[in-house]
Amino acid sequence: MGYVSSCNAAKSVISSGKLAFEVLTPRLSLIVPTYNEAENIKEFIVRVEYALNGIPFEIIIVDDSSPDGTANLAKKLNRKYGNIKVLERLGKLGLGSAVFDGFKMAKSDVLAVLDADLQHPPELLPKMYGKMLEGYGLVIASRYVDGGGVEGWSFMRKIVSLGATKLAHLLIPETRMVNDPMSGFFMVRKEFIREFKPSSRGFKILLEILVKGKYDSVVEVPYTFQPRLNGESKLSMGESLGYLLLLAKIRLKLLK
């Protein structure tokens, strides 16, 4: 089923009877958590809008009161594009809950999660969306399948990431059917996470979806994790330790 035929266009007609503008019901909602991404947000949005040209989609920026004014910039860009919503939360409440608050606002059946710093190339979105239209319930952009990789990482960072992935495989059987259960770049059908409550403020939303989500099929699409466009990672030591805690909680079945 092509997306055009599946797309249920909602048309707004002004009283003169002329078709003044057309608002397409989004088929795809992009959830983008941001904290101090003012230097990246414009290029991010320009590249997303270009990559998804022709597909009805919305961008939901979930910003945690970034002091650098990320939210205002996103709102300004919405004047040009018209499909950007900005959810402003009071205080830095964490990436995991930002993603889930974004899910709640989403109007589409297909949800995508990606970062605003362009480490997840938006040009992959049409291919991922194509897989959703083929019928997959969960599509993961993967660094660890043939054709995927990471760019600009030190040997140490590679070891830590691979070690964390192996640890997940070892401790949590549900993660074993995917090569990159720690990916932060994925699409999921909304119905599969409807009853889902995130357990923590943690960074690893996909991991929890793999364990608790009721998805029926999964596929990985290779991509190369890019260096951050500008600024620095917000992944703190505390959040890395939070990951280990999350693994332990899942393993000990302390999560519902």
Ligand X SMILES: Nc1nc2c(ncn2[C@@H]2O[C@H](COP(=O)(O)OP(=O)(O)O)[C@@H](O)[C@H]2O)c(=O)[nH]1
Q: Contact, 35 vs 64, CB < 8 A?
A: yes
Tell me which of ligand X, Mg ion, none is bound by residue 98, counting a contact when its beta carbon lies within the kind-specific cut-off of 5 to 8 angstroms. ligand X
The CA distances from residue 168 to 165, 180, 249, 252, in Å, are 5, 10, 12, 13
Q: Which residues have a Cβ under 8 Å from the Cβ of 223 and sit 6 or more positions away?
A: 120, 121, 124, 141, 142, 143, 148, 185
Q: Which helix (H) or strand (E) holds 210?
A: helix 205-212
Tell me which of Mg ion, ligand X, none is bound by residue 37, counting a contact when its beta carbon lies within the kind-specific cut-off of 5 to 8 angstroms. ligand X
Q: Amino acid letter at 85?
A: K
Q: Amino acid letter at 100?
A: F
Q: Which of residues 92-111 bind ligand X (CB under 6 A)?
A: 92, 94-95, 98
When the beta carbons of 56 and 184 are compared against Mg ion, the nearer one is 184
239 touches Mg ion (CB under 5 A): no
The SS3 assignment for 220 reads strand
37 touches ligand X (CB under 6 A): yes
The CA distances from residue 101 to 4, 60, 147, in Å, are 29, 10, 33
Q: Residue 125: what are its φ and ψ, rounded to 5°?
A: -60, -45
Contact track, Mg ion, 95-134, x by CB under 5 A: --------------------x-x-x---------------
Q: Which of residues 168-197 bind ligand X (CB under 6 A)?
A: none
Q: How far is the CB of 214 from ligand X (least distance, A)?
A: 26
86 touches ligand X (CB under 6 A): no
When the beta carbons of 25 and 65 are compared against ligand X, the nearer one is 65
The SS3 assignment for 202 reads coil
Judged by CB under 6 A, the residue of 35, 100, 223, 243 near ligand X is: 35
**What value, to the nearest 5°, has the Cα angle with vertex 11 and ends 7 and 13?**
170
208 touches ligand X (CB under 6 A): no
Judged by CB under 6 A, the residue of 34, 165, 175, 179 near ligand X is: 34
When the beta carbons of 52 and 95 are compared against ligand X, the nearer one is 95
Binding site for Mg ion (CB under 5 A): 115, 117, 119
Binding site for ligand X (CB under 6 A): 33-35, 37, 62-64, 92, 94-95, 98, 115-117, 119, 233-235
